[in-house]
């Protein structure tokens, strides 16, 4: 399965400039340390793996952000396709192949 998620603090400290980058970096460290394939972009982190391992990582990433804030926002979108692996790259490759065939 592929899961795109975004986790960020919703409460700010008094000296906060509005950036959530430090808290998000802590969440991404959890993902990176999990060893699961992942991709980071400006809006989401996409993780690939089995149901329990992916959602375990999301839970731990969320808990890491909770250490910086008393309230956290979490958005999750999943592509559940049993029997398929390497979809983090192969889905993009299939689209690129279609684009290449029409150019």
Domain CATH for 12: 3.30.70.930
Contact in structure between 26 and 72 (CB atoms under 8 Å): no
Model pTM score: 0.86
Q: How do residues 25-43 score in pLDDT, each as one tens digit? A: 999 999 999 999 999 999 9
Name the H helices within 1-103. 21-34, 51-66, 87-102
Q: 25 lies in which domain range?
A: 2-102
Residue 75, strand partner residues = 6
pLDDT in tens, 54-89: 999 999 999 999 998 889 999 999 999 999 999 999
* Alpha carbons 53 and 40: distance in angstroms, whole number: 18
Total domain count, the chain: 1
Taken as a whole, the chain contains a residue count of 103
């Amino acid at each position: 399965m592929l899961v795109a998620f975004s986790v960020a603090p919703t409460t700010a400290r008094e000296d906060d400039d509005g950036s959530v980058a430090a808290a998000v970096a802590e969440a991404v460290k959890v993902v990176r340390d999990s060893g699961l394939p992942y991709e980071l972009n400006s809006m989401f982190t996409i993780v690939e793996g089995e149901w329990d391992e992916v959602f375990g990582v999301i839970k731990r990433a969320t808990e890491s952000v909770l250490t910086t804030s008393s309230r956290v926002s979490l958005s999750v979108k999943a592509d559940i396709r049993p029997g398929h692996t390497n979809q983090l790259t192969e889905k993009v490759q299939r689209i690129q192949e279609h684009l290449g065939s029409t150019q």
